[in-house]
Structure 1
């Protein structure tokens, strides 16, 4: 499957106008001739040596890295990321650091490694606030592509649309093709077949205008998927076969596996079940050999359905079990917490930049106010000296005073707005409860304050809603949001003011109890657990029962000596509660 992945090469953003065409051709070559491009980049790097300008070296390494991902060349990818990180360290270049992070994220997500999305979030944060519109468009597209590849369409689509607008402003047809292609992928994940097909067609038009004819063919495989869902298998097969031919010629393993899968699905739709099954068996074997676990999960599910169609039930069951095992390995509760924290940090950073812009605007208003006041003073002195045209000067002074008043009111409004934005960074928008940032501030202040000699230790409760993903999947995200608000309302009434309650991400909440001691913390946790289990749920909420699991950890100053180790102790206790059957309270063994 051609994802348009990571094709918005940095070198096109930094190139001089005189070489823009060659940069576009180089960007396309990362997809259509990745092996040749890797060899050419290595030759240029070796030939230039220490005389290569940092910006040019960054462009070449980005091109090499994208080509390595497209050709599944781990050695070339490692070389590109290592040199980009080294370049970032020596030249203090955040764009080079972000490029290395985006490349690693793309590789990890494609191979089913759970840390991939976190890598993309950190990379995007490195270039947040850049003034160069080309860098902004590039970073937004990489971020959009990471969410698309990780099957998170709700977060991918807004970023893809922002990237599309950025590329449109730059007049970059190739970039618009990339953004539209990823938009189609995200819409397809939401099963919006007609909308996705329209996005793919727009992508092909942009690539055609950019002269990227081979990419027009490759995006055809994505369009083929929509044709299959629209009941047009013969048209779908023709598009996928054309795409597969180019992918095999370019040595692009991952995309060729996806096109092969689409051809097998088209054969099955035409009634050629055994032929389709044999093709999928071969494709799955190649995916295993290449170690592309992220893609292998979906291929195993397709093979399982085809095995069932031809009566090979033993293989169908084996495929489902293997897909389930790989999926469980790819995502852990701890990793979800890390990703939620990074997403919150990225969103907070965006708000902080907005606050900074407002503060800068306030400074300009202050200068304007002072200038207006000085001008008013000069006018008054001139009026006293000349004593002429008193009526005209009086009107002018009144007008200036009015302007001063308006500027004062505008300045106050700007300051109120900045204060409101600052408060929003500490509140969870869904529940109105304190968020992870507020929790970290409160916990850090508590731990920095010396504890009295005979005071009981501080206690931390980490709460997780049981089976929340299943709740979202079975009754929908809107009802899932109602469940979060129900739990929030209960915690507000059940926890007194001596403790601090926060939602730190997803279905996870914390209760911070200063100087409470482990015994009191366990009593509170058990009271909360039983209280939630006994909640009478609204009749229009299609859920029979709500339960929670709680991990409890006290701050002992030894094994739990800072916020990170304290959180880790509570997280391990929560994991034990989950593993032990859920609807439980477990105290940490790392503290106490």
Structure 2
């Protein structure tokens, strides 16, 4: 699938004569696509000249533009430079926008290389600016997340994000950004085998680019449109669009884009009966992709060559290409499955829920003000009724109406408060076990350590982890594994009731927070929990009859542990030792060397 390497908001107004008619904020964006190598040289010069005199925002903008141009030019050196300098800017100036920019650039690089962790990287970047209220930053972040999913072939997940990006760009009047998001939506529909819908989005994107004078961008999207024309039987038109796009990409030095255009041309040549020329074109494109290290393109190119070889009657070679494509895609998917993508998606969604809660609370405040206003109006009308007996019936009716409105507002306010409270509870609860999640645990622990005199008496933290839990999932399946998790969570909660709080802070990891329990009592409680879990009988569907846990114990006395992070690390070190000493045991951090 045709993939545009366009990444978003480039804000400075420097542009060569070729894009002189573009709006100022789109000028550098255009250069990043039509002349990425020249732009890289100019941006480096600007960064060198402005050392020490730029604001964090100005430096971030220049580095973002450098990274975008580097991605388009497949210049790993320039891309690494941009990412490292953005990371440094984020660290030195505590500038989260710079950190998010570096993350999105890393995500794009990983996706281009076929690394399955690209989407996880983009999710981490988006989370850094999730609280931003600046409409331009919101639109930029939503587009980059949409683009990461779309370019990774995850169309179903990408589509709602791309819709949000389109809405955000419309709100800010950013036609360039809107055209980019529409192009990605076309990519999504193409991946879902919906060519007519994809054609509609590609044509919209081309029209928007043309409306702001970005003619070469319209040509570039034309290569995507060509693939859909090919699917609906318009091969001649498709070939003309792809050839125009290829000429532009080769002139600009955009290697990755040019390779995809060459692959599209091969399919179009085959559709026009030029099978020998088509095979020659795809062979050359595949060889150049491997030489350039663009591993993310290789599976798609192999799949297309397999199709062409099959049509040409080269069945054995077609099978070899298909097998290699499947193997490479399997490696990519395995990498994605081993990443923390699902966890990051859950955290991102949880934060979105928190932001909705904040909006509801703001609406509640407005409803409260409206309620007060309605009550005041009802009181005024009641007074008017007493003073103007001649029009008493009319005033009385108006007063009753005002009271009814006030009542309705009150009911609406109460319903919104209830909804906000339910969302707040959901944000702090683990959906599987019903106990506190990691966010709730961190809030509770931070509040405990923030109390006056929190250092005495001693607070106790237990970190609990299952031993060999993967064996249960592998042998009985994840549903049974979830049953075991819930059963053990219920047992832990009942055992520590009255002395502590249980939270699920990871997949098979739990934390028990025991305020003012004391070190000796904490170790005794840990032993009780360990023995109790070992004695539990597992469901009949689980081959193993019992499951065991390891526990790390750490105390907070204000001396060995001075903050929540240190306390967590001490408990984690003790848990690691329990695992190392053979599992199914309790280890206190005070017993470890150096404690």
Q: Same fold (TM over 0.5)?
A: yes
Alignment CA distance shift 1:504-1:451 (3 Å): closer
Aligned 8 A contact 1:180 1:203 in 2:
yes
Q: Which runs of 5+ in 1 are unaligned?
A: 469-482, 532-549, 573-586
Distance, in Å, in 1 between the alignment partners of 2:511 and 2:85 is: 44
Distance 1:241 1:20, change over 3 A: closer
From the superposition, tell whether residues 78 and 451 of structure 1 become closer, same or farther in structure 2 (CA, over 3 Å): closer
**Deviation (angstroms), 1:307:** 4.3
The answer for unaligned runs of 5 or more in structure 2 is 14-19, 449-457, 494-501, 513-525, 555-567, 588-595
What does the per-residue CA deviation read over 1:460-500, in whole Å, with 9 as the maximum and x for residues that have no partner? 785687799xxxxxxxxxxxxxx99x879977998894268
1:44 equivalent in structure 2: 46
The match for 1:420 among 385, 409, 422 is 422
What are the Cα deviations for residues 402-450 of structure 1, in whole angstroms up to 9, with x where unaligned? 776555544432321111212333578xxx745897377579989x998
Which residue is equivalent to 2:320? 317
> CA 1:552–1:179 in 2, change beyond 3 Å: closer, same or farther?
farther
Q: Distance in 2 between matches of 1:148 and 1:404?
A: 48
Deviation at 1:245, TM superposition (A): 1.0
Of residues 82, 98, 102, the one that matches 2:84 is: 82
SS across alignment from 1:50: coil
**Aligned twin of 1:554:** 550
Check 1:509–1:525 CA distance in 2 against 1; reply closer, same or farther (3 A cut): farther
Q: 1:184 to 1:407 in 2, by over 3 A?
A: closer
Q: CA deviation at 1:81?
A: 1.6
Give the total of aligned pairs.
Answer: 529
3-state SS of the aligned residue for 1:231? Answer: coil
Match of 1:498? 491
Q: Which residue of 2 aligns with 1:358?
A: 360
Structure 1 contact 34–68 (Cα < 8 Å) conserved: yes
Is contact 2:22-2:214 (8 Å) kept?
no
Two-structure CA RMSD over aligned residues (Å) = 4.8
Q: Following the alignment from structure 2 to structure 1, what is the Cα–Cα distance between the partners of residues 230 and 292?
A: 27
CA contact (8 A) 2:2 2:187 kept: no
Following superposition, the deviation at residue 105 of structure 1 comes to 0.7
Query: Which residue number corresponds to residue 3 of structure 1?
Result: 3
Counterpart position of 1:545: none
Paired residues for 1:57-76 under 5 Å: 57-76=59-78
- Secondary structure class of the residue paired with 2:243: helix
Counterpart Cα distance in 2 of 1:149 and 1:552:
43
Secondary structure of the residue that 1:142 maps to in structure 2?
A: helix
CA distance in 2 between partners of 1:259 and 1:494 (Å):
55
The answer as to whether partners of 1:426 and 1:435 remain within 8 angstroms in 2 is no
Equivalent residues of 1:435, 1:503 under 8 A apart = no
Alignment partner, residue 142 of structure 1: 144
Q: Matched residues in 1 for 2:360 and 2:306: separation? A: 56
Which residue in the other structure is 1:332 paired with?
Answer: 335
Q: Deviations over 1:187-243 (max 9, x none)?
A: 111111111112111111111112111111111111111122223323222211111
Per the alignment, residue 276 of structure 1 pairs with 278
SS at match of 2:51: helix
Matches within 5 A, 1:521-540: 527-530=540-543
In the alignment, structure 1 residue 176 sits paired with structure 2 residue 183: no
TM-score (norm 1): 0.73
Residue in 1 that maps onto 2:518 = none
Which residue of 202, 205, 213 maps to 2:204?
202
Mapped to 2, the partners of 1:95 and 1:119 lie a distance apart of 15
**Distance in 1 between residues matched to 2:168 and 2:475, nearest whole Å:** 40
After superposition, residues 477-496 of structure 1 pair within 5 angstroms as: none
